[in-house]
A and B are shown apart, each in its own frame.
Chain A
Amino acid sequence: MKWIATVLLIFSISFTFISLIAAYSVYMPVAAVDPLAVKPEMSYSLGKNNVPGDQNEVRNVALSVSGTTVTGATLQFHKRTPGLYGVRTTVTLLDGNGNTISTGTACQFYAGTGTRTATITSFTPPVSIDSVYRVNVVIQRVGSC
């Protein structure tokens, strides 16, 4: 009977090591895993007009954020068509399905030609930058603001 106890003892020790190996083998450090993309891409559309009396074009746009909330936008456009007239600037924020989730607008009169700046001071409704997948910037010549 002593050999039975010896066999069981060897089995128990073996079981201990096998258990440890099996249990620890499922452990995977978080740092070893690449980040998972939720929103890996954003795009901006900058408008350029080609209608009589309005051939202006957007050159750049920058969103302002407070925390993660989009609070405003500053854009520059090239005013190619001379004269004093109003330019309405509309920045539309879209979600991943292409739906508009927020809009900001500014309107101002500009004279001459050259680079001009427009500032949008608020978006309605306020949205998080993490909800924004696409930013559309449109400028349009208008008769009045």
Chain B
Amino acid sequence: MLRARQFLPLFLALLISSAAYAAALTLTSSSVDQLGGGEGNVNRYYVRVLSASITVNSNAFNNQITGGSVTVASTVPGTYVVTITVTTNAGTRTYTTTAALSTTPATITFTITPLSYTAPGVTISVRAEPA
């Protein structure tokens, strides 16, 4: 027959393992809660483009767009790959750069191969993705 003192280490080991597992699960659960709560405020980002500007090579009607600038912010600070796409009826130009964005707007100046500024106008798209 086993005596009680022989089972004491076994009971202690089971008790410790149960406590450790429970503690680990508690920590994991709290981390998941933080992740779920944080996604709304920390991990989900909105790009805010507050201004867009173009520069042209002349004031003639048949002028060309040679570049411009945009003011960009992101709700989640970090380093982003910013892609600026300029489109008119004459074609499309793309400019890509890496920028540190935060809630404070940052100005990004870009240059492109000249693109005819035709009617009815130009579309400037700004896309930012985590670097």
Contacts and interface: CB of A to CB of B under 8 A. Distances in A.
Nearest to B53: A60
Contact of B130 (A1, A27, A35, A114): A35
Contacts of A43: 49, 123-126
Contacts of A5: 2, 6-7, 9-10
Given A36-B43, A40-B45, A40-B129, A60 B119 contact: no
A143 to B, nearest CB: 21
Contact of A4 (B2, B14, B24, B61): B2
A37 to B, nearest CB: 6
Interface residues of B, number: 56
Interface residues of A, number: 51
Determine chain B's interface SS by DSSP, over half rule: mixed
A33 B43 contact: yes
B1 to A, nearest CB: 7
Contact of B17 (A19, A27, A36, A48): A19
B123 A23 contact: no
Given A23-B28, A35-B43, A40-B47, A46 B2 contact: no
Given A36-B43, A40-B45, A59 B54 contact: yes
A24 B122 CA distance: 53
A130 B75 contact: yes
Interface of B: 1-2, 6-7, 9-10, 13-14, 16-17, 20-21, 24-25, 27-28, 31, 34-35, 38-39, 42-54, 56, 59, 61, 68, 71, 75-76, 78, 117-130
